[in-house]
Amino acid sequence: VAVDDDGIIPESLEEHFEHLRRVGELDRIAAIYVVPYFDNPRGATMSLERRARVVEIANRWSSRRKIHVISDDAYRELRYAGEDIPSMKAVDETGDTVIVTGTFSKSYAPGVRVGWGVLPRGLVEPICNQKGNVDFGSPHLNQHLMRRVLEMGVYRAHIEQVRASYRRKLEAMLAAADEFLSPLAGVDWRRPNGGLYVWAELPESIDTGPAGRLFDVAIQRGMFYVPGQYAFPAEGEPVRRNTMRLSFGVQTPDNIREGIRLLAEAIRDVM
């Protein structure tokens, strides 16, 4: 399904459902999966209007089989600018369409592999049963750890520290991009308000994948990125091989600046 700066495009979603109806495959669809906050890899956030339209589309096409909306809110806490947008659950008027999932591994600590979900009441028992069959149970220690963190009231204070750290890193990456990438013709990038990634587009003549020259040149210079081709579905939207995902989550602001400088040199070498 096509996306833009506001996330999934409802008209494109509608077209896909209509196509599936025509070819007799609509019954295959059980859910619409979305990452409405600072999605991976583009960092886009879905507007409240879009959220309501996606839920409305799911309900309208549920005449034969219930279609749920799975809202993966993993990055919601990682907002560095602007106002928060209400959850997709807020526009689920019936309460039986939207499934919200989240995790503490992005917002609190990467090593705490504990997630949570908000489900329609009728799905709680069957999903919990199925989860136990798949993963044989989540780590008890991590669950008790996060319970104590929440009970002690230290979660919010830690989140503010995490946000401040990531905000500095994002600002370092965007400043470095302005300094080193802006002089390069045809190079553009998104300026997200949160998340962990910056999405960049290069001239169409440059293949950012392993088969292209840029990938090897960048690695030789000591800089690594994720080729954008891995972010596109096998069917549907054309693969844009001139794209890349840049992550600012791990490195220091100084290393981020140096990495973007090295990337700019690599791009210049293959232009």
**Is the same domain home to 38 and 65?**
yes
- Name beta bridge partners: 244: 200, 227
**Is the same domain home to 64 and 166?**
no
**Is the same domain home to 118 and 250?**
no
Contacts of 143 (CB under 8 A, 6+ apart): 114
Tokens (6 digits) for 86: 């209400």
pLDDT at 236: 62
> Residue 66 and residue 147: Cα distance in Å, rounded?
33
* Structural domains in the chain (count): 2
pLDDT in tens, the chain (271 residues): 888 888 899 999 999 999 999 999 999 999 999 999 999 999 999 999 999 999 999 999 998 899 999 999 999 999 999 999 999 999 999 999 999 999 999 989 888 889 999 999 999 999 888 887 887 778 889 999 999 999 999 999 999 999 999 999 999 999 999 999 999 999 999 999 999 999 999 999 999 999 999 999 999 999 999 999 998 876 666 889 999 999 999 999 999 999 999 999 999 999 9
> Residue 224 and residue 245: Cα distance in Å, rounded?
10
**Is the same domain home to 119 and 251?**
no
Tokens (6 digits) for 152: 């002690």
Contacts of 87 (CB under 8 A, 6+ apart): 71, 73, 76, 98, 100
**Is the same domain home to 183 and 262?**
yes
Could you give the residue ranges of the DSSP H alpha helices within 120-241? Answer: 121-135, 140-152, 155-176, 213-220
Instruction: Give the range of the structural domain holding residue 192, as residue numbers without chain letter.
Output: 157-270
> Residue 252 and residue 30: Cα distance in Å, rounded?
42
**Is the same domain home to 171 and 65?**
no
Contacts of 104 (CB under 8 A, 6+ apart): 112, 114, 115, 116, 146
pLDDT at 237: 67
**Is the same domain home to 133 and 164?**
no
Which of 100, 131, 152 finishes a domain? 152
**Is the same domain home to 143 and 165?**
no
Which of 136, 152, 168 finishes a domain? 152
pLDDT at 239: 85
**Is the same domain home to 57 and 11?**
yes
